[in-house]
Chain A
Protein backbone atom coordinates (compact mmCIF):
# COMPACT_ATOMS: atom_id res chain seq x y z
CA UNK A 1 0.00 0.00 0.00
CA UNK A 2 2.73 2.41 1.05
CA UNK A 3 4.89 1.41 -1.90
CA UNK A 4 1.99 1.99 -4.26
CA UNK A 5 1.25 5.49 -2.91
CA UNK A 6 4.94 6.33 -3.18
CA UNK A 7 4.87 5.63 -6.91
CA UNK A 8 1.49 7.21 -7.49
CA UNK A 9 2.88 10.68 -8.41
CA UNK A 10 5.24 9.03 -10.92
CA UNK A 11 2.35 7.09 -12.45
CA UNK A 12 0.30 10.28 -12.73
CA UNK A 13 3.26 12.03 -14.37
CA UNK A 14 3.75 9.13 -16.82
CA UNK A 15 0.03 9.15 -17.69
CA UNK A 16 0.21 12.92 -18.29
CA UNK A 17 3.36 12.68 -20.46
CA UNK A 18 1.75 9.80 -22.35
CA UNK A 19 -1.40 11.79 -23.03
CA UNK A 20 0.59 14.81 -24.21
CA UNK A 21 2.85 12.68 -26.43
CA UNK A 22 -0.19 10.96 -27.96
CA UNK A 23 -1.92 14.26 -28.80
CA UNK A 24 1.30 15.79 -30.15
CA UNK A 25 1.89 12.82 -32.44
CA UNK A 26 -1.72 12.68 -33.69
CA UNK A 27 -3.22 16.17 -33.43
CA UNK A 28 -6.98 16.51 -33.24
CA UNK A 29 -8.89 17.35 -36.42
CA UNK A 30 -8.98 21.14 -36.45
CA UNK A 31 -11.62 21.50 -39.13
CA UNK A 32 -14.59 23.41 -37.81
CA UNK A 33 -17.60 22.20 -39.77
CA UNK A 34 -20.33 24.74 -40.42
CA UNK A 35 -23.39 24.36 -38.20
CA UNK A 36 -25.50 25.69 -41.09
CA UNK A 37 -25.69 22.29 -42.77
CA UNK A 38 -29.36 21.30 -42.95
CA UNK A 39 -30.45 24.92 -42.70
CA UNK A 40 -31.52 27.56 -45.20
CA UNK A 41 -28.80 29.60 -46.88
CA UNK A 42 -28.41 32.91 -45.00
CA UNK A 43 -29.58 35.96 -46.91
CA UNK A 44 -26.88 37.74 -48.89
CA UNK A 45 -26.59 39.62 -52.16
CA UNK A 46 -23.09 39.89 -53.55
CA UNK A 47 -22.02 42.21 -56.35
CA UNK A 48 -20.35 40.69 -59.41
CA UNK A 49 -16.73 39.75 -58.70
CA UNK A 50 -15.73 40.19 -62.35
CA UNK A 51 -17.25 42.35 -65.08
CA UNK A 52 -19.43 40.39 -67.49
CA UNK A 53 -20.47 37.69 -65.02
CA UNK A 54 -23.43 38.02 -62.66
CA UNK A 55 -22.96 38.33 -58.90
CA UNK A 56 -24.48 35.89 -56.45
CA UNK A 57 -27.42 36.28 -54.13
CA UNK A 58 -28.97 33.74 -51.78
CA UNK A 59 -32.24 33.93 -53.76
CA UNK A 60 -30.52 32.36 -56.76
CA UNK A 61 -29.50 29.41 -54.59
CA UNK A 62 -33.12 28.30 -54.16
CA UNK A 63 -33.86 27.90 -57.86
CA UNK A 64 -35.43 24.44 -57.78
CA UNK A 65 -32.22 22.63 -58.74
CA UNK A 66 -29.18 21.93 -56.57
CA UNK A 67 -26.14 24.18 -56.88
CA UNK A 68 -22.56 23.95 -55.77
CA UNK A 69 -21.00 27.04 -54.23
CA UNK A 70 -17.22 27.26 -54.23
CA UNK A 71 -15.69 29.70 -51.75
CA UNK A 72 -12.37 30.69 -53.31
CA UNK A 73 -9.88 33.51 -53.85
CA UNK A 74 -7.28 34.36 -56.46
CA UNK A 75 -4.68 34.67 -53.69
CA UNK A 76 -5.43 31.18 -52.37
CA UNK A 77 -2.82 28.63 -53.43
CA UNK A 78 -4.85 25.43 -52.82
CA UNK A 79 -7.58 26.97 -55.01
CA UNK A 80 -5.21 26.57 -57.96
CA UNK A 81 -4.87 22.87 -57.16
CA UNK A 82 -8.62 22.26 -57.12
CA UNK A 83 -9.40 24.27 -60.29
CA UNK A 84 -9.08 21.29 -62.71
CA UNK A 85 -11.35 19.20 -60.48
CA UNK A 86 -14.02 21.89 -60.46
CA UNK A 87 -13.81 21.83 -64.27
CA UNK A 88 -14.29 18.07 -64.10
CA UNK A 89 -17.36 18.49 -61.87
CA UNK A 90 -18.76 21.03 -64.30
CA UNK A 91 -18.21 18.61 -67.17
CA UNK A 92 -20.22 16.03 -65.22
CA UNK A 93 -23.16 18.43 -65.15
CA UNK A 94 -22.73 20.10 -61.77
CA UNK A 95 -23.85 23.74 -61.70
CA UNK A 96 -21.20 25.71 -59.80
CA UNK A 97 -21.39 29.25 -58.45
CA UNK A 98 -18.65 30.96 -56.51
CA UNK A 99 -17.91 33.46 -53.79
CA UNK A 100 -14.62 35.33 -54.26
CA UNK A 101 -13.32 36.24 -50.81
CA UNK A 102 -11.32 39.48 -50.29
CA UNK A 103 -10.49 39.82 -53.94
CA UNK A 104 -10.07 42.43 -56.70
CA UNK A 105 -11.94 42.13 -60.02
CA UNK A 106 -8.70 42.22 -62.04
CA UNK A 107 -7.13 39.49 -59.88
CA UNK A 108 -10.23 37.27 -60.12
CA UNK A 109 -10.36 37.77 -63.91
CA UNK A 110 -6.69 36.80 -64.26
CA UNK A 111 -7.23 33.74 -62.05
CA UNK A 112 -10.15 32.61 -64.24
CA UNK A 113 -8.11 33.05 -67.43
CA UNK A 114 -5.14 31.14 -66.02
CA UNK A 115 -6.94 28.41 -64.07
CA UNK A 116 -10.22 27.99 -65.93
CA UNK A 117 -13.69 29.26 -65.21
CA UNK A 118 -16.29 26.63 -64.30
CA UNK A 119 -18.54 29.19 -62.56
CA UNK A 120 -22.00 30.42 -63.58
CA UNK A 121 -22.07 33.31 -61.09
CA UNK A 122 -19.36 34.82 -58.95
CA UNK A 123 -20.18 37.10 -56.02
CA UNK A 124 -17.58 39.42 -54.49
CA UNK A 125 -17.19 39.13 -50.73
CA UNK A 126 -14.64 41.85 -49.87
CA UNK A 127 -15.11 41.65 -46.08
CA UNK A 128 -15.78 37.89 -45.81
CA UNK A 129 -19.37 38.63 -44.72
CA UNK A 130 -21.07 35.96 -46.81
CA UNK A 131 -18.30 33.54 -45.88
CA UNK A 132 -18.93 34.13 -42.16
CA UNK A 133 -22.71 33.94 -42.67
CA UNK A 134 -22.26 30.50 -44.25
CA UNK A 135 -20.16 29.27 -41.34
CA UNK A 136 -17.15 28.81 -43.60
CA UNK A 137 -13.76 29.20 -41.96
CA UNK A 138 -11.35 29.38 -44.86
CA UNK A 139 -10.66 29.10 -48.57
CA UNK A 140 -11.24 26.94 -50.47
CA UNK A 141 -14.50 25.42 -49.32
CA UNK A 142 -17.32 23.91 -51.34
CA UNK A 143 -20.98 23.84 -50.35
CA UNK A 144 -23.85 21.91 -51.92
CA UNK A 145 -27.22 23.61 -51.70
CA UNK A 146 -30.44 21.88 -52.71
CA UNK A 147 -33.24 23.31 -54.87
CA UNK A 148 -35.06 24.68 -51.82
CA UNK A 149 -32.02 26.64 -50.75
CA UNK A 150 -31.03 24.34 -47.90
CA UNK A 151 -27.32 23.73 -47.30
CA UNK A 152 -26.75 19.99 -47.67
CA UNK A 153 -23.01 19.48 -47.63
CA UNK A 154 -19.76 21.27 -46.90
CA UNK A 155 -16.36 20.22 -48.17
CA UNK A 156 -13.48 21.93 -46.37
CA UNK A 157 -10.12 22.49 -48.04
CA UNK A 158 -9.25 21.89 -51.68
CA UNK A 159 -11.21 19.31 -53.67
CA UNK A 160 -8.83 16.43 -54.35
CA UNK A 161 -9.30 13.73 -56.99
CA UNK A 162 -10.54 11.31 -54.32
CA UNK A 163 -13.25 13.75 -53.24
CA UNK A 164 -15.00 13.95 -56.62
CA UNK A 165 -17.18 10.81 -56.23
CA UNK A 166 -18.39 11.94 -52.78
CA UNK A 167 -19.24 15.40 -54.13
CA UNK A 168 -21.13 13.93 -57.10
CA UNK A 169 -22.98 11.63 -54.72
CA UNK A 170 -23.95 14.53 -52.45
CA UNK A 171 -25.00 16.57 -55.45
CA UNK A 172 -27.20 13.74 -56.73
CA UNK A 173 -28.68 13.33 -53.24
CA UNK A 174 -29.58 17.04 -53.17
CA UNK A 175 -31.67 16.77 -56.34
Chain B
Protein backbone atom coordinates (compact mmCIF):
# COMPACT_ATOMS: atom_id res chain seq x y z
CA UNK B 1 0.00 0.00 0.00
CA UNK B 2 2.79 2.37 0.93
CA UNK B 3 4.65 1.44 -2.26
CA UNK B 4 1.51 2.10 -4.28
CA UNK B 5 1.11 5.49 -2.62
CA UNK B 6 4.74 6.38 -3.34
CA UNK B 7 4.26 5.33 -6.96
CA UNK B 8 1.12 7.47 -7.25
CA UNK B 9 2.97 10.48 -5.86
CA UNK B 10 5.87 9.86 -8.25
CA UNK B 11 3.49 9.74 -11.21
CA UNK B 12 1.59 12.82 -10.05
CA UNK B 13 4.66 15.02 -9.53
CA UNK B 14 5.23 15.97 -13.20
CA UNK B 15 1.59 17.04 -13.50
CA UNK B 16 1.97 19.31 -10.48
CA UNK B 17 5.18 20.79 -11.82
CA UNK B 18 3.34 22.97 -14.32
CA UNK B 19 2.23 26.53 -13.72
CA UNK B 20 -1.29 27.77 -14.27
CA UNK B 21 -0.21 30.46 -16.72
CA UNK B 22 -0.73 29.95 -20.46
CA UNK B 23 2.39 29.68 -22.65
CA UNK B 24 4.19 32.94 -23.47
CA UNK B 25 2.88 34.54 -26.65
CA UNK B 26 5.93 33.80 -28.78
CA UNK B 27 6.43 30.28 -27.41
CA UNK B 28 4.20 28.75 -30.08
CA UNK B 29 3.35 31.67 -32.38
CA UNK B 30 5.48 32.20 -35.47
CA UNK B 31 7.10 35.54 -36.19
CA UNK B 32 5.32 37.55 -38.92
CA UNK B 33 8.56 37.84 -40.92
CA UNK B 34 9.23 34.39 -42.49
CA UNK B 35 12.98 35.02 -42.77
CA UNK B 36 13.23 35.88 -39.06
CA UNK B 37 11.06 32.88 -38.15
CA UNK B 38 13.29 30.57 -40.21
CA UNK B 39 16.37 31.88 -38.40
CA UNK B 40 14.69 31.56 -34.99
CA UNK B 41 13.45 28.03 -35.78
CA UNK B 42 16.91 26.88 -36.92
CA UNK B 43 18.41 28.19 -33.68
CA UNK B 44 15.70 26.58 -31.51
CA UNK B 45 16.61 23.21 -32.98
CA UNK B 46 20.19 23.70 -31.77
CA UNK B 47 19.41 24.80 -28.23
CA UNK B 48 19.03 22.29 -25.44
CA UNK B 49 15.99 22.31 -23.18
CA UNK B 50 17.16 23.01 -19.62
CA UNK B 51 14.70 20.75 -17.84
CA UNK B 52 14.31 17.82 -20.24
CA UNK B 53 17.98 17.84 -21.32
CA UNK B 54 17.63 15.28 -24.11
CA UNK B 55 15.48 17.48 -26.33
CA UNK B 56 15.93 20.71 -28.21
CA UNK B 57 13.69 23.59 -27.16
CA UNK B 58 11.96 23.21 -30.55
CA UNK B 59 10.89 19.66 -29.62
CA UNK B 60 10.12 20.08 -25.94
CA UNK B 61 6.74 20.70 -24.36
CA UNK B 62 8.27 21.92 -21.08
CA UNK B 63 7.14 25.37 -19.99
CA UNK B 64 10.71 26.59 -19.63
CA UNK B 65 11.40 25.44 -23.20
CA UNK B 66 8.36 27.49 -24.30
CA UNK B 67 9.75 30.53 -22.50
CA UNK B 68 13.12 29.93 -24.16
CA UNK B 69 11.44 29.80 -27.59
CA UNK B 70 9.70 33.08 -26.76
CA UNK B 71 13.05 34.56 -25.75
CA UNK B 72 14.69 33.42 -29.01
CA UNK B 73 11.84 34.82 -31.15
CA UNK B 74 11.75 38.14 -29.28
CA UNK B 75 15.49 38.65 -29.57
CA UNK B 76 15.59 37.70 -33.26
CA UNK B 77 12.62 40.01 -33.92
CA UNK B 78 14.49 42.81 -32.10
CA UNK B 79 17.28 42.47 -34.64
CA UNK B 80 19.77 40.17 -32.90
CA UNK B 81 21.54 37.52 -34.93
CA UNK B 82 21.06 33.84 -34.00
CA UNK B 83 24.72 33.67 -32.94
CA UNK B 84 24.21 36.60 -30.54
CA UNK B 85 21.25 34.83 -28.94
CA UNK B 86 23.23 31.60 -28.71
CA UNK B 87 26.15 33.50 -27.12
CA UNK B 88 23.76 35.10 -24.59
CA UNK B 89 22.55 31.66 -23.49
CA UNK B 90 26.05 30.13 -23.47
CA UNK B 91 27.14 33.01 -21.22
CA UNK B 92 24.54 31.78 -18.70
CA UNK B 93 24.46 28.02 -19.10
CA UNK B 94 27.79 27.17 -20.75
CA UNK B 95 28.44 25.35 -24.02
CA UNK B 96 26.13 22.67 -22.66
CA UNK B 97 23.06 24.59 -23.80
CA UNK B 98 24.11 24.54 -27.46
CA UNK B 99 23.93 21.44 -29.63
CA UNK B 100 26.64 22.83 -31.93
CA UNK B 101 30.01 22.34 -30.27
CA UNK B 102 32.63 25.00 -31.08
CA UNK B 103 35.87 24.03 -32.83
CA UNK B 104 38.54 24.55 -30.18
CA UNK B 105 41.43 22.44 -28.81
CA UNK B 106 39.15 20.77 -26.26
CA UNK B 107 36.71 19.59 -28.93
CA UNK B 108 39.26 18.60 -31.61
CA UNK B 109 38.96 14.90 -30.68
CA UNK B 110 35.19 15.18 -31.15
CA UNK B 111 35.51 16.63 -34.64
CA UNK B 112 38.41 14.31 -35.56
CA UNK B 113 36.75 11.11 -34.30
CA UNK B 114 34.53 10.43 -37.37
CA UNK B 115 37.51 10.95 -39.68
CA UNK B 116 39.76 8.69 -37.58
CA UNK B 117 37.07 6.00 -37.40
CA UNK B 118 36.60 6.13 -41.17
CA UNK B 119 40.36 5.84 -41.71
CA UNK B 120 40.52 2.95 -39.24
CA UNK B 121 37.65 1.22 -41.04
CA UNK B 122 39.35 1.66 -44.40
CA UNK B 123 42.54 0.22 -42.97
CA UNK B 124 40.73 -2.86 -41.62
CA UNK B 125 38.93 -3.34 -44.91
CA UNK B 126 42.15 -3.02 -46.88
CA UNK B 127 43.76 -5.77 -44.77
CA UNK B 128 40.82 -8.08 -45.39
CA UNK B 129 40.76 -7.39 -49.14
CA UNK B 130 44.50 -8.03 -49.41
CA UNK B 131 44.15 -11.33 -47.54
CA UNK B 132 41.34 -12.49 -49.83
CA UNK B 133 43.35 -11.71 -52.93
CA UNK B 134 46.31 -13.71 -51.57
Assembly CA distance A36 to B18 (angstroms): 26
Complex partner residue of B19 from A101, A129, A135, A137, CB under 8 angstroms: A101
Contacts between the two chains (Cβ within 8 Å), count = 67
Contact A138-B19, Cβ < 8 Å, known A34-B92, A127-B70 = no
- Is B134 among interface residues, defined by CB-CB distance under 8 A? no
> Which residue of chain A lies nearest to B24 when distances are taken between CB atoms in the complex?
A127
User: Does the CB pair A77–B67 fall under 8 Å?
Assistant: no
A128 touches B64 (CB 8 A): yes
Of the four ranges (under 10, 10 to 19, 20 to 34, 35 or more), the interface on chain B belongs to 20 to 34
Q: Which residue of A lies closest to B21 (CB)?
A: A102
Say how far B20's CB is from chain A's closest CB, in angstroms: 6
User: Is A73 an interface residue when CB atoms closer than 8 A count as contact?
Assistant: yes
Report whether A75 and B51 are in contact in the complex, using a CB–CB cutoff of 8 Å: no
How far is it, in angstroms, between the C-alpha of A69 and the C-alpha of B89 when the chains are bound?
21
CA gap between A73 and B93 in the complex, in Å: 21
Q: Are B18 and A132 in contact (CB under 8 A)?
A: no
On whether A104 and B21 interact (CB within 8 A), knowing A127-B70, A128-B67, A137-B51, the answer reads yes
Min CB gap A135→B, angstroms = 4
Q: Does B50 contact A (CB under 8 A)?
A: yes
Query: Does A65 sit at the interface, judged by CB under 8 A?
Result: no
Contact of B17 among A32, A77, A103 (CB under 8 A): A77
Report B-chain residues with C-beta under 8 Å of the C-beta of A137. 50-51, 64, 93
Asked whether, in the complex, the Cβ of B19 is within 8 Å of the Cβ of A35, the reply is no
CA distance A30 to B49 in the complex (A): 12
Residue in A107, A127, A138 whose Cβ sees the most chain B Cβ within 10 Å: A127
**Contact between A138 and B64 (Cβ–Cβ < 8 Å)?**
yes
Once the chains are docked, how many angstroms separate the CA of A135 from the CA of B97?
11
**B43 contacts chain A at the CB level, 8 A cutoff:** no
Query: Is B16's beta carbon under 8 Å from chain A?
Result: yes
Query: Which B1-57 residues have C-beta < 8 A from chain A?
Result: 13, 16-21, 24, 50-51, 53
Instruction: Known A128-B64, A137-B50, A138-B64; judge A32-B20 contact (CB<8 A).
Output: no
- Nearest CB in chain B to that of A139: its residue: B17
Q: Is the C-beta of A133 less than 8 angstroms from some C-beta in chain B?
A: yes
Cα–Cα distance between A104 and B94 once the two chains are bound (Å) = 31
A35 to B97, CA, bound (A): 11
Contacts A129-B71, A132-B71; A36 near B21 (Cβ below 8 A): no
Write 18 A-B pairs (CB below 8 A) sorted by A numbering. Answer: A30-B53, A32-B93, A34-B92, A35-B91, A36-B91, A77-B13, A101-B19, A102-B21, A104-B20, A104-B21, A129-B71, A131-B64, A131-B67, A132-B68, A132-B92, A133-B92, A137-B64, A137-B93
- For the complex with contacts A75-B16, A132-B67, A137-B50, 19 further pairs of A-B residues with Cβ separation under 8 Å are A30-B53, A32-B50, A32-B93, A32-B96, A32-B97, A34-B93, A35-B91, A75-B17, A75-B20, A76-B17, A127-B24, A127-B67, A127-B71, A128-B63, A128-B67, A128-B68, A132-B89, A135-B93, A138-B51
